[in-house]
Amino acid sequence: MTPLYLDCNATTPVDPVVVDAMMPWFREQFGNPHSVNHTFGTDAAAAVEDARRSIARLVGADAREIIFTSGATESNNLAIKGAARFERRMRGRRNRIITVASEHKCVLESVKALEAEGFATDVLPVGTDGTVETERLARALDDDVILVSVMAANNEIGTLQPLADIGAMTRACGALFHCDGAQAAGRIPLDVNTAAIDLMSLSGHKVYGPKGIGVLYVRRRPRARIEPLFSGGGQERTLRSGTVPAPLAIGFGKAADLAAPRQVEEATRLDTLARALINGLPGVSLNGPPLDSRLPGNLNLLIEGVDAGHLISRVPELAFSTGSACTSAVVEPSYVLRAIGLTPGQAASSIRLGIGRFTTSDDIAFANERLTHAINRCRREA
């Protein structure tokens, strides 16, 4: 592949097995899964339900708790806004949302939008490794909290949050626990019951499936209540209207089936490749948690004395980034890196590398050689 792709936290290539599973549903079996009067529709519906079960198994859920959406951004919006608005309309007892400063942009913007609607919000700081301070969260929790939103794994720095601790504290105070699991699903084991998660967002294209499809897990017992974002036919348990794109849902299901049995083996392989990639890189340090306690395959590197944008332009044969793809149009330094204490200059000297399923040891050797050369060249030119 030219250039060599090292941005798997932004998106992953679709696994060829997933492509093969989807193709018949674009061509011969193109029925609307909500058309129940003929076999085109009922066959599509049955395949979608199989996919729903596969995705549910990946996170320890029941298939009836899986709602198809267009992706994790929609799922995050639906979970956070839906929970807050349901509480206000139906109960009116609670009024506060809690999240964390290093969350995905769509979570922070959803919380900000609720603040404009009159909800109280708390955005908690994180430590230098990106982990939320559970003691501080415990102090913030009370009977006014509707929902706590904390991601499983950070998309920029790979921080793995203590989900079970957060879930236990949140449930004890009677609030809902929402988790953005898009980066973590398929890379580390996730179980919504073990972690007492009430709402979880997932995305197909982060797990070697297609873009344009995601899910929201919505707990049935004890029931998590949310309002839909928009009106329509109520196809997905009345919570998400619109025709489910059968080929994409089926692709996501196949991707989940592929990911589930290989998580441990793949995590070990990605860790080995990550260590090889940064071995010997000159004047480089790791942002966020250490390699043995971060999301497998994620590297965020501070390269002292080198502008990240300049470095990227010097290695066109490698595809990597400075941070989240969802804020790539923003010029200022990463808010996630600022949240863990980096200066603007340090954040501007940081790059993100994402290693994935199809990255080989030869790829890593090539990337290490090209990065070393480019870093040294940038420093000479500075």
pLDDT tens digits along 233-243 = 999 999 999 99
Rounded CA-CA distance 310/271 in Å is: 27
Rounded CA-CA distance 107/180 in Å is: 8
Q: pLDDT confidence of 215, banded at 50, 70, 90?
A: very high
Classify residue 90 by its DSSP letter: I
What average pLDDT score do residues 26-35 get? 96
List, for residues 289-312, the tens digit of each pLDDT value.
Answer: 999 999 999 999 999 999 999 999
pLDDT score at 323 = 75
Asked if the model's pLDDT at residue 332 lies above 80, the reply is no
Rounded CA-CA distance 235/233 in Å is: 6
Classify residue 125 by its DSSP letter: -
Rounded CA-CA distance 350/308 in Å is: 6
Mean pLDDT for all residues in the chain:
96
- Above pLDDT 70, what percent of the chain? 98
| Interacting residues of 167 by C-beta distance below 8 A, sequence separation 6+ | 177, 195, 196, 197
Asked if the model's pLDDT at residue 133 lies above 80, the reply is yes
Asked if the model's pLDDT at residue 326 lies above 80, the reply is no
List, for residues 56-109, the tens digit of each pLDDT value.
Answer: 999 999 999 999 999 999 999 999 999 999 999 999 999 999 999 999 999 999
What average pLDDT score do residues 142-151 get? 98
Asked if the model's pLDDT at residue 355 lies above 60, the reply is yes
Strand partners, 98: 122, 148
Asked if the model's pLDDT at residue 328 lies above 80, the reply is no
Q: pLDDT confidence of 330, banded at 50, 70, 90?
A: low
pLDDT score at 325 = 59
Q: Does the N-terminal peptide bond of residue 228 adopt cis geometry, omega within 30 degrees of 0?
A: no
pLDDT score at 382 = 81
What average pLDDT score do residues 222-231 get? 97
Which two three-digit tokens encode residue 170? 């949140």
Burial of residue 290 (CB within 10 Å: 0-12, 13-18, 19+) is: exposed
Asked if the model's pLDDT at residue 124 lies above 80, the reply is yes
pLDDT score at 2 = 79
Asked if the model's pLDDT at residue 327 lies above 70, the reply is no
Tell me how far apart the 2 most distant CA atoms of the chain are, in Å.
Answer: 70
Return the SS3 of 377. helix
Q: pLDDT confidence of 324, banded at 50, 70, 90?
A: low
- Above pLDDT 90, what percent of the chain? 96
Residue type, 356: G
Name the residue among 263, 248, 269, 292 with its Cα closest to residue 186. Answer: 263
Strand partners, 149: 178
pTM, full prediction = 0.96
Catalytic residues: 326
